[in-house]
Amino acid sequence: MLANGERAPDFTLPDQDGREQTLSGLLSGQPMILYFYPADFTPGCTKEACDLRDLHAQILSAGLRVVGISPQLPDSHRRFRDQHALPFTLLSDVDKVVIRAFGVDGPLGIGVRRATFLIDAQRQVMDSVLADLRISRHQEFVERAIAARADPGASPTPG
């Protein structure tokens, strides 16, 4: 998994509408919460996505944006996004190139680890969390990132 302080690799992936997106373009001068998840429509991934949806106004107010990545096709992402009213971009990494580049490929190349990264505008990893089954840790991570943006003297995600 990419470590804090490392530069996130730029990439190009299709979004839920089939449009090509790059990390640099998505950052567009502001930090980002980039999260990796195993699959659309599974209970854990749905909970995580809905938690981010419910925090979305606070995320935007903190000057952040959210993007999710998993190996499903864009059409699956579009249905998942529509069904759960997700207001953020979902990227399709069918070949798991970006998933491997971020070091979140599952054991023996099977599946995807549930990981969330806070990436600054220059693509530097400011903080991250890896919690495959403890989904609430990702929401707590995002809440701390929001709080840290509200108090610039605070560290990105203490604790």
CATH number, domain of 52, equals 3.40.30.10
- Closest by Cα among 118, 124, 123, 120 to 158: 118
pLDDT digits (tens, 9 = 90+) for 72-88: 999 999 999 999 999 99
45 is annotated as an active-site residue: yes
Q: Please indicate, yes or no, if residue 3 is contained in any of the structural domains.
A: no
Which pTM does this prediction carry? 0.92
Q: Which of 2, 45, 64, 104 is catalytic?
A: 45
Q: Please indicate, yes or no, if residue 156 is contained in any of the structural domains.
A: no
Q: Which residues contact 61 (CB under 8 A, 6 or more apart)?
A: 146
Whole-angstrom distance, CA of residue 113 vs CA of residue 108: 12
Q: Please indicate, yes or no, if residue 42 is contained in any of the structural domains.
A: yes
Tell which wins on pLDDT, 108 or 64: 64
